[in-house]
Amino acid sequence: MTLTSTLTSGRFIDHEYDRMIVRFSMHDGAREIPCAISTSAMDDLEHGAHVKPEQREAQFARLRDRIEACAESKYRATEFEGTPPGIVLRGIDFRP
């Protein structure tokens, strides 16, 4: 797998309430990289705020820079999970 210098923003896909994740994508050139972040990780980033399901997209937008920086770090470290392989972010990924 060839990794280019920088991932770029992709799209907000959805909030999966049952799985408690927000799915989004990033791009390595023309290749779309599937990504997800747990809603608890997003709440932790906002110091314990618990937002309503319909507010998850707005919360993602507020935190997007931090989320994408973390996703890029895991991408560079080739920390992929699942099928198809993608990036999964949890609260522990944002701890110093």
Spell out the domain ranges in the chain.
8-91
pLDDT for position 5: 56
Query: Residue with structure tokens 């023309």?
Result: 30
CATH 3.30.565.10 matches 8-91: no
Over residues 15-71, the pLDDT tens digits come to 999 999 999 999 999 999 999 999 999 999 999 888 999 999 999 999 999 999 999
Mean pLDDT of 62-85: 94
What's this model's pTM, rounded to 2 decimal places?
0.91
pLDDT for position 20: 96
